[in-house]
A and B are shown apart, each in its own frame.
Chain A
Amino acid sequence: MAIDNNQLLRFTTAGSVDDGKSTLIGRLLYDSKSIFEDQLTAVENTSKKKGHDNIDLAMFTDGLKEEREQGITIDVAYRYFTTPKRKFIIADTPGHIQYTRNMITGASTANAAIILVDARHGVIEQTKRHSYIASLLQIPHLIVCINKMDLVNYDESVYDDIVDQYENLSSKLVIQDITYIPISALHGDNVVNRSENMEWYKGAALLYTLETLHISNDLNKIDARFPVQTVIRPQREGFIDYRGYAGRIASGVFRKGDSVVALPSGFSSKIKSINTFDQEFDEAYVPMSVSITLEDDIDVSRGDMIVRTNNRPETSQEFDVMLCWMSSKASQPRAKYTVCHTENLQKAMIKNVLYKVDINTYDRIKDQETFEMNDIGRVTIRTTKPLMIDSYGTNRTTGSIILIDDNTNETVAAGMIV
Chain B
Amino acid sequence: MINLDLPVVQFTREQEEFRQEVREFLAEEKKKGTFETKCDSWLSGDSPEFSKKLGEKGWIGMTWPKKYGGGERNALDRYILTEELLAAGAPVSAHWFADRQSGPLLLKFGTEEQKEYFLPRIARGDTYFAIGLSEPNSGSDLASLSIRAERTDGGWILNGSKIWSSGAHIAHYMIVLCRTSKLDPNNRHAGLSQFIADLKAPGVTIRPIKFLTGEHHFNEVFFDNVFIPDNRVIGEIGNGWKQGMTELAYERSGPERILSTFPLLEELIRILRENGDYRGMQEAVELLPQLWSMRNMSIGVAKYLDDGVDVNIIAALVKDMGTIFEKNIAEKARLIISRHPSVLSTDIYERFMAQSILHGPGFTLRGGTTEILRGIVAKGVVAG
Do A and B bind?
no
